[in-house]
Amino acid sequence: MSLAQRVRDHRYSKGWGPDELASRAAISRTALYQIESGKTELPRAGTLRRIALALDVSMEILLGHSEAGPIVAATARPGRANAEWLPTEGGPLTIPTSRTAPTIENVDGSRFSVESAPLVTAPAESYLSVRERELAWKLHELLSSNLGEGIARIIEESYRLLPSSRHVG
């Protein structure tokens, strides 16, 4: 099944017209038409990610890299097979060749670093929701930016505001 058909099927399963999906995904109606008609076979990663978030499915499901069909995906929200893959906005969408997931760790007590670790397969129910993965990716980008020090301090101070019973480790 083509990307065009999968996007259309997921949209139909939600009971949405093209205008509704385009609005929720923050893309133009023309861009959605180009994708659903097959004229754009491989949209930019950011566009595909916005469509996946709007439809509440993973990008792998839209790309056909999952065994779940549209009805199962729309109702069960299965986890993504490649939980580490959250492409940035921009260039054409490509599938990563490595099977490692980025991990964030505090190296010297003041700076955070990002390293690759082997991908560990977990049960489907333990995968993060699409929104949680999106936020984790954004956090990773912020920590890697020149704002990283300040962001890390904000997170640490905010975490201290949680009741102590919620602290892990």
Model confidence pLDDT, tens digit, residues 2-17:
888 999 999 999 899 9
List the Cα angle 72/75/80 in 5-degree steps. 65
Overall number of domains in the chain: 1
List the Cα angle 130/120/144 in 5-degree steps. 60
Task: Note whether 21 and 54 are within 8 A (CB).
Answer: yes
Q: What was the pLDDT predicted at 98? A: 46
How many whole angstroms separate alpha carbon 24 and alpha carbon 21?
5
How many whole angstroms separate alpha carbon 106 and alpha carbon 111?
6
Task: Note whether 45 and 92 are within 8 A (CB).
Answer: yes
Q: What is the mean pLDDT of residues 97-116?
A: 49
How many whole angstroms separate alpha carbon 39 and alpha carbon 49?
18
Model confidence pLDDT, tens digit, residues 116-155:
455 555 444 445 567 777 787 888 888 888 888 888 888 8
Model confidence pLDDT, tens digit, residues 43-81:
888 888 889 889 988 888 888 876 544 444 334 344 444
Q: What CATH number should be reported for the domain holding residue 36?
A: 1.10.260.40
Look at the block and give the residue holding tokens 């560990």: 120
Q: Domain range holding 149?
A: 3-166
Neighbour count for residue 55 (Cβ, 10 Å): 25
